[in-house]
Chains A and B, each alone.
Chain A
Amino acid sequence: MNTVFRNWCRALMNKRRVLVVAEMLCLIAVASVFLIASPLALAKKNANGGGNCDCPPACACAQAACAAAACAQKAAANGKPKKKKPPKAATFLSILTTVSKTSPTTMTAQLFNHITLATLKKASWAWVTVTLNVKGKTETFGAEAFLNSRNRPVVMLAEILPTSPSVANADTRPLTELLKDPTLLALIKAGNQLPLIGIK
């Protein structure tokens, strides 16, 4: 039995075979790191703010595990996980088409109150007017409309405009006052993308 085992070991430990086996093990180890580390690094990024652990910053796996655990604890403590607030959507009003210069400092833009997704594909970054609910009041903005990386219509707010009193919950303050409103100014300065609704 002893001799059989010794022979088996000798055959197994053939120098070249050991090298090949070692190399294959290395490959499997590296592949495993690729498979495990990358998704965890992403999870760590997603779980940002979920919790802080005193893990070494280089240890992505530990950080991710900590963040996930802290997130789970927080959710358990609150009874149920917090629902993410859906982003506010801007409602399409009109698209600015022909722009004419009427004096050195004034212009007039033609408005067209119909736009389709196909038009938006061609007229990317077109100027539009939209309405948005801000603190329960309907506000009107000038904005740029385009399709985001997921091909969804979005706008970026650029200008504060007065709202028609005929619109429900319209903010009827004069334009001069609207232009000084810090909430509205923050919205146009943020450069955030808002989903655009009301297009065909």
Chain B
Amino acid sequence: MINSVSLHKVGIAKFAGLLVLAALAVAFFVAPIAMAIGGGGNAVASLNSSVKTYFLGKVAGRPTVGTTLSVADTKLALSLTPTITSDEVLGGSWFMCAVKDPATVNTFYIFTCTVSGLKGIKIAPSDVTSNRVAVILGLPANIAATTPAAMKYVGKKGRLLYTLTGNVLSTPAPIKQALNAAGTGW
């Protein structure tokens, strides 16, 4: 009697082998790579591309000269620089941003933002000239005046839009006019 394995069983064995290999590949290669990529920086969710974020100015903490900051303080004086040079755009620094509501014609929400690269937090000088600067939205300037839909933008990353004239960054002129027209005070 000849012991033989049917072709059907061989096929099943091959397919099962392939499945095992694929599972091993995922477990030992794809998963660690994905974890490494995810763990390298924080996985910041992206803003919907229809939500536009505009530069309003760079923020710096400038308590009144001679004063200091303590736990008891309830207010912090800040300076806003509406036009800055491209070398002042550093990853992690503070900007004020205007976020245009995509659902309405002329509604803006003002947010505190953190400057970031499109991928990591760091920015190369060429990123500024090639409009590859992103911001991560922090809290809105006025939470009470922000809709629940706009509150969902908090903690998300979007591409920053600005006008670059020579080496100077500023708010795009049509946005300035629209902000004035909307009476935002910004």
| Interface membership of B77, Cβ < 8 A | yes
Which chain A residue lies CB-closest to B185?
A: A101
A63 within 8 A of B: no
User: Complex formed: what's the CA distance from A165 to B66 in Å?
Assistant: 12
Q: Is the CB of A162 within 8 A of B69?
A: yes
- B90 pairs with A189, CB closer than 8 A: yes
* Cβ–Cβ < 8 Å partners of B81 in chain A: 105
Q: What 0/1 readout, one digit per residue, does chain B (55-85) give for beta carbons within 8 Å of chain A?
A: 0000111110101111101111111111000
B165 within 8 A of A: no
Q: Which A residues form the contact surface with B (CB < 8 A)?
A: 11, 14, 16-17, 19-20, 23-24, 27, 30-31, 34-35, 38-39, 42, 93-94, 96-101, 104-113, 122-127, 129, 140, 142, 144, 146, 148-149, 156-167, 170, 172, 175, 188-189, 191
Q: Closest Cβ of chain B: how far from A137's Cβ, in Å?
A: 14
CB contacts between A and B, total, < 8 Å: 178
Which of A31, A108, A175 is within 8 Å of B21, CB to CB? A31
* CB-based contact B76/A108 at 8 Å: yes
CB neighbours (8 Å) of A172 from chain B are 68
Q: How many chain B residues touch the partner (CB < 8 A)?
A: 63
- Does A34 lie within 8 Å of B75, measured CB to CB? no
Q: Flag if A129 contacts B76 (CB, 8 Å).
A: yes
For residue B10, CB closer than 8 A to chain A, the reply is: yes
Query: B residues near A, CB below 8 A?
Result: 2-5, 10, 13-14, 17, 20-21, 24-25, 28-29, 32, 38-39, 42-43, 59-63, 65, 67-71, 73-82, 90-94, 96, 110, 112, 114, 121-122, 136-139, 141-144, 154-155, 185-186
Whether B63 and A162, one on each chain, are in contact in the complex, defined by CB atoms closer than 8 angstroms, is: yes
Contacting pair A162 B68 (CB below 8 A): yes
Q: Label chain B's interface by main secondary structure.
A: mixed
Asked whether B112 lies within 8 Å of A99 as measured between CB atoms, the reply is yes
CB A191 to nearest CB in B, in angstroms, measures 5
Known pairs A109-B78, A144-B92, A163-B68; list 20 more (Cβ under 8 Å).
A20-B10, A27-B17, A27-B20, A31-B24, A34-B28, A42-B32, A97-B143, A99-B142, A101-B185, A106-B79, A107-B78, A109-B76, A111-B74, A122-B154, A123-B138, A123-B154, A125-B114, A127-B112, A149-B43, A170-B68
B-chain residues with CB within 8 Å of residue A191 when the two chains form the complex: 91-92, 121-122
**Nearest CB in chain A to that of B186: its residue:** A101
Q: How far is the CB of B83 from chain A (nearest CB, A)?
A: 10
Cα(A127)–Cα(B68), bound, Å: 18
In contact, B139 and A129 (Cβ under 8 angstroms):
no
Assembly CA distance A125 to B135 (angstroms): 11
